A and B are shown apart, each in its own frame.
Chain A
Amino acid sequence: MTERDTIDKLLENGKLAEAFQTLADAWNRAPSLNAAQYVIAKYERHRADLDLIACRLAILRSVTVEPLVPLLRAAAFVNGIDLDVKVSDFDTYATETLDPDSALYAFEPRVVLLALNTASVAPQLWAPTDDSETSLRAVADDTVHHLTSLIRAFRANSQADLIFHLLDSPDLTTRGSLESHAGFGQRVAIESVNERLAAVARDMHGVHPLDYDALVARHGRREWFDEGKWEQFRLPATAQNLRHIVDEWLRFIQPVIGAVVKVAVVDLDETLWKGTVGEDGFAKLKMGADPPGTPYRALQRALLALRERGIVLVACSKNNESDAMEVLEKHPDMLLRPAHFATMRINWESKAENIRSIASELNVGLDAVAFIDDHPVERAEVRAMLPQVRVLDLPPDPSKFARIVLESPFFERVTVASAEDRERTRFYHEQAQRAKMLASVGSKEEFYRSLGQVADIAKANDLTLGRVAQLTQKTNQFNLTTRRYNEPDVARFMSDPKRKVLTIKVSDRLGDNGIVGAAITEDDGDACKVDTFLLSCRVIGRGIETAFIAYIAEQARLRGKSRLVGMFCPTAKNELAKHFYEDHGFRRIADDADGSAWELGLATSVLKAPEWITVTPAPAVPA
């Protein structure tokens, strides 16, 4: 029976998860154009039954991308993303970008990809006929000017995220061995263009430079390019390398649309160190800077890097807790220590059971969890029991472990971790303490009082805008409308006098939770409409949501509004917020395909924050 027959059989028998797991494995083993068509056909037929993230992607290009599109769509499907791709005509990227009425903007893409290479946008840098410093400088300046004006026009015309290729260097330069000898040569010219374009992107929201030269170098500059296919078809790389371009694109697309994991659950024995603590004992374990410890040390370093990006680490191991803790606490060669982990499961339960309990403790969905374990049987069990969890395919050779982690697109981020992200592990520690306190205190209310919570509500500003966008992207459970916004969207709302963008920061005597919620409202006649209202699950159920909506209601009343109107749009994940409006005295006024509309009369409303929460600043008439 071929693999395709197996998949068809599974689908016939209604074993959807298993069928698509088999399909994904087959694709990951051998991604080809032929396989891509097959993968796309299967996902398209069953897309209604799969929990996929839909995304409209426009590709502007100066190179042939047609054969890349099926590869990209297949790879995206396998990663849970249903891409609707529109490719612009050849070399129309400049006019499409500059014209606000172009087909590009009419398509209303969520993400736009500007796929370029040096040979097409700066042929005089790629293969100069005049390689004098004067000429190279002039070409470099022109290229920067041209691309910068496009990026700026794009930002003015669209709210979409933009991913654009920086320039690549040729494998051979005109000056050959004299390249480094002669000051401003081809490579320096190309680097100078890249530095300046990256600086332009840094000053804008939602513009992401892709280091195309690093991608080419990673896969071997000499073997990357096929002159024949370039001259004939304008194909930017050999057929074998096309999938590397696609993988790199996904490493940007996934974090841009929030298709990422938040928690990495990692095994200990033979994963973080060589050896088994229960059998070999503390002294025999290896994770130092000399072989055979080096691969394990490299994985620990990679995990610390993930933690810097805001990904939460959790240790999960079948061991006696005291044995494993001794290594984590005391082994001199360990880079990872107990404080790096938000929580741990060191016991003899099944890994699947433990992952389920970790997800529940950390208040994340199973699809936000990745599992890293050297043992194929453990991985197979988690895959079978919890198909939503991303299980990393670690090869038998441990020296590849760190690479697999660092290459995974769902661990990528396109914005630098906010303070909240980096501190998340600490929040979870405090959360665990709160749960213990609750268990020891009698009533919930008594517990809330003992927490001494302060809710600090403020208008979003330049420093918090990124966090607001991130919350709209990532918050699934307590989110009334689940409208996803990027930074340019939020910036636009902030500058609209009819709209208010608010953040809420919560602290208590156990610690500072940082910004845990956001709301966006729009004044319309006598009504204030709630466009977005969301809170991190970390604070739900402590009265914070009541304090926040009461604040919004009071502010709207002070602006002379008589009604507060909000929508609840049900999704697969926001059941938690379903009764929010009803519980706060709102009246259901309409239902439509998106959900239900709710209204609160502000003249008669008695909505107020629970007395155990101090709200700052107190609502006041806006100046």
Chain B
Amino acid sequence: MDHGNAGASGAGVSPTFAVVQEIAAGVFGVAESDINPESSPQTVERWDSVQQIYLVLALEERFGVQLALEDIEELKNLGDIARAIDKKL
């Protein structure tokens, strides 16, 4: 399957976050514009434990990294997740 480049996002957003944003929007079934670095289980209605698994697996699949248990426990929101992925790239 093709993995085309993530669409252009607003200025000041890292390329990693742009991809996280695209994937999260797909997993949670919302528009990319509804996803920002502060998005978290508290702000995204569909972000439950099952969707969390999909999100982690989809991110791992796209970036080719492994997110460890402690990585995910430390993560408060999507901005943190993008930074954690950046450290592994």
Chain A contributes a number of interface residues (CB within 8 A of B) equal to 22
Residues of B within 8 A of A233 (CB): 49, 52-53, 56
A56-69 vs B, Cβ < 8 Å mask (1 yes, 0 no): 00000000101100
Q: Quick check: which of A32-40, A184-192, A477-485 contacts chain B, the rest being far away?
A: A32-40
The residue among B4, B53, B61, B62 with the most chain A CB atoms within 10 A of its own CB is B53
Chain B contributes a number of interface residues (CB within 8 A of A) equal to 20
The residue among A3, A66, A235 with the most chain B CB atoms within 10 A of its own CB is A66
Name the residue of chain A whose CB is nearest to the CB of B67: A228
Contact check, A64 vs B53: say whether CB atoms are below 8 A apart: yes
Contact check, A33 vs B69: say whether CB atoms are below 8 A apart: no
Residues of A within 8 A of B2 (CB): 2-4
Q: How far is A3 from B1 in the complex, measured between Cα atoms in Å?
A: 7
Whether, in the assembled complex, B54 has its beta carbon less than 8 Å from a beta carbon of chain A, the answer is: yes
Given A26-B1, A228-B68, A231-B69, CB of A33 within 8 Å of CB of B53: no
* A232 in complex: contacting residue of B3, B60, B61, B69, CB < 8 Å: B69
Given A64-B53, A66-B53, A235-B53, CB of A35 within 8 Å of CB of B1: yes
Contact check, B61 vs A4: say whether CB atoms are below 8 A apart: no
The residue among A4, A64, A228, A232 with the most chain B CB atoms within 10 A of its own CB is A232
Name the residue of chain A whose CB is nearest to the CB of B72: A232
Residues of A within 8 A of B26 (CB): 34, 37
Whether, in the assembled complex, B89 has its beta carbon less than 8 Å from a beta carbon of chain A, the answer is: no
Whether, in the assembled complex, B8 has its beta carbon less than 8 Å from a beta carbon of chain A, the answer is: no
B9-50 vs A, Cβ < 8 Å mask (1 yes, 0 no): 000000000000000001000000000000000000000011
Q: How far is A26 from B1 in the complex, measured between Cα atoms in Å?
A: 6
Whether, in the assembled complex, A198 has its beta carbon less than 8 Å from a beta carbon of chain B, the answer is: no
Given A2-B4, A3-B2, A228-B69, CB of A34 within 8 Å of CB of B53: no
Please give me the 10 A-B residue pairs with the lowest Cβ-Cβ distance, nearest first.
Answer: A35-B1, A228-B69, A2-B2, A239-B57, A233-B53, A66-B50, A232-B69, A32-B61, A228-B68, A3-B2
Task: Give A residues with C-beta under 8 Å from B.
Answer: 2-4, 26-27, 30, 32-35, 37-38, 64, 66-67, 226, 228, 231-233, 235, 239
13 contacts between A and B (CB under 8 A): A2-B2, A2-B4, A33-B54, A34-B26, A37-B26, A64-B53, A66-B50, A66-B53, A66-B54, A67-B57, A228-B68, A228-B69, A233-B52
Task: Give B residues with C-beta under 8 Å from A.
Answer: 1-4, 26, 49-50, 52-54, 56-58, 60-62, 66, 68-69, 72
